[in-house]
Amino acid sequence: GTYFRVHDALADLFPRRFGHWGGVAGVELHATMSLRCDQLSSLDITADTVSERSRLPQPESLRGKLLLADRGYLDVAYVNQVAAYGGHVLQRVQQANPIVEVVRINGRRIPVLDGVELVALLSAARDAVLDLDVSWPRKQIRLRIVSFSPPGAETRTTLITSLPRSQFSAAQLG
């Protein structure tokens, strides 16, 4: 989704969610693009107050496909459903704190760190590349998280994915 401010006379039809762009009217442009075909496969314009999650493709439509998504969309149940239908997700994560079941740091398994919460591990990771098996026990969901510090970046990048480690290394995902 990309936000655009529109004329304030449209506020009843397109109310905005945030005040830091000025005005009272705004729209979100929701685009799904096929990287294989290098073209849009769907385009939708909604009021800025409409959740981006409601514009994600149906999980069953992603069989054999990879969905690349940004931070605002995190829904681990959705990622799990996509995987159940034979698709995959690679998504940047801003806030998540699952239980880390298996820890790999710079490619090495570190069993002593198993069972910690993600936030604690990220704060201690510094420049290490993390490749983790994580879970949300109450939801009975297990996924993979890769976290690394891109060259020259001030903050870590954390990705959640359903892509298998056997086919996609942490470095490839990064």
Give pTM, 2 decimals.
0.81
- Two structure tokens written together for 13: 């039809």
Q: Are 24 and 33 in contact (CB under 8 A)?
A: no
Which amino acid makes up residue 139?
A: K
Query: pLDDT by residue (tens digit) across 57-97?
Result: 899 999 999 998 887 768 899 999 999 999 999 999 988 88
Mean pLDDT, rounded, for 32-38 = 83
Please report how many Cα atoms fall inside a 13 Å half-sphere around the Cα of residue 171, on the Cβ side: 2
Which amino acid makes up residue 15?
A: P
Per-residue confidence (pLDDT) for residue 54, from 0 to 100: 78
Per-residue confidence (pLDDT) for residue 20, from 0 to 100: 59
Question: Between these two residues, 58 and 30, which has the higher pLDDT value?
Answer: 58
Task: Report which DSSP code applies to 128.
Answer: P
Place of tokens 């409409």: 50
Q: How high is the mean pLDDT of the chain?
A: 88
